Structure 1
Amino acid sequence: MLEFTVPGLSNADSATLADTLQKRLTACNDLHLTLKHVHWNVVGPNFISVHEMLDPQVELVRGYADVLAERIATLGGSPVGTMGANADHRSWDDYSLGRDTAQAHLGALDKVYDGMIGDHRKAIAVAGEVDPVTEDILIGQTAELEKFQWFVRAHLENAAGSLPTTDDASEKGAARSATA
């Protein structure tokens, strides 16, 4: 229960925003760990380029989680970032690849970013109705997430600009398509 919020926002709007941001916080925590997992498990000819590409993504996504948690607290909520809470509250399955080639992981990460960006955009719509400050935070994060996905896709696309993972709904399917 919120006992305070920022001036100009009702407790109800703040509670809605805090709940929306908590979902994004959980997703950022998961994405940061997924990116690190890929960083540790990528192999093959493109190992070093993918390995090094992921470090800045990990750091920025960790920072996004911090910003979201601080915004939740600013709104009067209590951010939850424990592993147990993250596992209990996420609405997606664990990342499905272990040790695999760079192309396989990049195909799977493309799908991870699809979900992450899509859900961030939904959160932008919620925030846009009541709070331009929270909306702005989410817009800035989404722009960077889209850039990260572009980096991933640049490794996957062919000269015509097609992605082998376009028709895949799952990480494993995208991983198979990326290595075919």
Structure 2
Amino acid sequence: MTATEQAAAPHTVPGMHRQDAARVAEILQERLHSLNDLALTLKHVHWNVVGPHFIAVHEMLDPQVDAVREMTDTTAERIATLGGVPVGTPGAIVAGRTWDDYGVGRADAVAHLGALDLVYAGVIEDHRAAMKATDDLDLVTQDMLIGQLARLEQFQWFVRAHLESGGGRLSTSGARTLEEAAERAERAAGGSDGSGGSNG
């Protein structure tokens, strides 16, 4: 039994089995790590975009950061409501992460958006899996996840609008890594300085 499990409350919300609550809290802890990481990544991009689309992307991202931070708070409070212990320390995020760190530094705005498209895709896929997993466990939590998904999918749409051709093709289509997505997006946009735009 981990320190977190030992510190968990011996009770949960009325009408819910403690075992089910513990499972939901476990699912939500994974989502909390993901959302915390996403908020930090969005802020990193906000600080590091350059090029002709700088101001549009720079200003587009701050409301997304704020919304994702609100999601982290709601998620953490739901874990606590269920009797769990939300963990949001940097070490816990890194230890619980099943995805690679964001590797694009100072780069053209379109390159960052290409990488962000893949970031959002991963977060959304995992959020949808969590939504399905809570179907028989806790509809209140599922409702929270559905609301978050609506916002996350909208944010990805905002990102993809910069990457989509008139015919609906995404410049990042088929990319498997963040760096590859960034390079494809920048190449499709014509590049800003021919340097590839990412730091690895």
Partner residue, 2:69? 62
Looking at structure 1, the residues matched to 52 and 145 of structure 2 have their Cα atoms a distance apart, in angstroms, of 35
Q: Percent identity between the aligned chains?
A: 59
Does 2:17 align with 1:4?
Answer: no
Residue equivalent to 2:46: 39
Query: 1:152 maps to which residue?
Result: 159
- 1:93 offset after TM fit, Å? 1.1
Superposed CA offset, 1:79-110 (max 9, x none): 00011111111111110100000010000000
SS for the counterpart of 2:110 is helix
Aligned to 2:59: 52
2:169 maps to 162
What CA distance in whole angstroms lies between the structure 2 residues aligned with 1:124 and 1:9? 18
**Which runs of 5 or more residues in structure 1 are unaligned?**
none
Residue identity in the other structure for 1:19: E
Paired with 1:104 and 1:85, the residues of 2 have a C-alpha distance of 29
Q: Which of 82, 104, 110 is the matching residue for 1:103?
A: 110
Q: TM-score, normalised by structure 1?
A: 0.98
Q: Which residue of 1 aligns with 2:85?
A: 78
Query: SS at 1:135's partner residue?
Result: helix
Kindly state the Cα deviation for residue 127 of structure 1 after the two structures are TM-superposed: 1.1
For this pair of structures, how many residues does the alignment match?
Answer: 180
Cα distance in 1 for partners of 2:107, 2:136 equals 43
Counterpart Cα distance in 1 of 2:99 and 2:19: 27
Counterpart in 2 of 1:22?
29
- 1:86-165 mapped onto 2 (5 Å cutoff): 86-165=93-172
Residues in 1 aligned to 2:95 and 2:102: alpha-carbon distance in whole angstroms: 15
Instruction: Give the Cα–Cα distance (whole angstroms) in 2 for the partners of residues 87 and 26 of structure 1.
Output: 8
User: Aligned-pair distance for 1:169?
Assistant: 1.1
Helix, strand or coil for the counterpart of 2:169? Answer: coil
Q: Hey, what's the Cα distance between the residues in 2 that align with 1:10 and 1:90?
A: 28
- What amino acid maps onto 1:110 in structure 2? D
Deviation at 1:126, TM superposition (A): 1.0
Structure 1: 4+ residue segments shifted above 4 A: none
TM-score, scaled to structure 2: 0.89
Q: SS at the partner of 1:128?
A: coil
Distance 1:171 1:8 in 2: 44
Residue 115 of structure 1 and its aligned partner are, at CA, apart by 0.2
> Could you report, residue by residue, the CA deviation over 1:38-81 in whole angstroms, capped at 9, with x for unpaired residues?
00000000000000000000000000000000000000000000
Greater C-alpha Rg: 2
